[in-house]
């Protein structure tokens, strides 16, 4: 089963995140595909990539998360929400869930349905994380426990000793 990855395309040098995507390809191959597609597309991310490659540089690609095919849509959405909520000017033009598949959504719903108000406290979710998840859930019309589950997963990934060290060969 292929590994699914959520990645960020960043400004070279500053590493400001400009685009969040998902792939099961190696990151360096996905970056090459973005660069190639930028020559024939006028979506905002392609225009941005062309402006960088015109200066003989290229965007940096950074691994954000590795997950299963059943989690990929939710994890990508969560990362996009995190960056947007923190003021990043992302160039993503479509909903991250555009390629939703019914089976993946049903499995995610079953998984997150196991989270309840009671066991959120047992899991050690800080009250401010839960409050933020409640606010985002209301805003986006999704289940708060789905966001908490994703937030916990992302928190674990960000704070793991491996974070940042696995760039899938891309630098």
pLDDT tens across the length of the chain (171 residues): 678 999 999 999 899 999 999 999 999 999 999 999 999 998 999 999 999 999 999 999 999 988 888 888 888 888 888 888 788 889 987 644 444 445 445 544 554 444 444 445 444 555 555 566 666 666 666 555 566 666 666 655 555 555 444 444 443
In total, how many domains does the chain have? 2
Task: Examine the fold and report which residue of 51, 67, 92 is the final residue of a domain before the chain moves on.
Answer: 92
Pair (119, 74) in one structural domain = no
Pair (78, 126) in one structural domain = no
How is residue 62 annotated by DSSP?
Answer: E
pTM: 0.58
Pair (125, 154) in one structural domain = yes
Q: How far apart are CA 167 and CA 25, in angstroms?
A: 13
Residue 30 lies in a domain: yes
Q: How far apart are CA 133 and CA 127, in angstroms?
A: 10
């Amino acid at each position: 089963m292929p590994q699914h990855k959520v990645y960020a395309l960043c400004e070279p040098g500053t590493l400001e995140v400009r685009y969040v995507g998902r792939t099961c390809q190696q990151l360096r191959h996905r970056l090459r595909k973005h660069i190639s597609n930028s020559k024939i597309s006028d979506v905002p991310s392609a225009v941005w990539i062309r402006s960088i490659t015109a200066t003989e540089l290229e965007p940096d690609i950074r691994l954000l998360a590795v997950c299963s095919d059943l989690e990929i849509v939710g994890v990508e959405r969560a990362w996009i929400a995190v960056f947007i909520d923190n003021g990043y000017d992302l160039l993503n033009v479509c909903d991250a869930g555009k390629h939703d598949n019914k089976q993946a959504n049903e499995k995610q719903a079953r998984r997150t349905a196991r989270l309840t108000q009671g066991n959120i406290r047992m899991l050690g979710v800080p009250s401010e994380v839960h409050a933020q998840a409640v606010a985002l859930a209301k805003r986006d019309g999704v289940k708060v426990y789905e966001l908490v589950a994703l937030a916990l997963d992302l928190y674990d990934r960000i704070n793991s000793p491996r974070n940042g060290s696995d760039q899938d060969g891309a630098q």
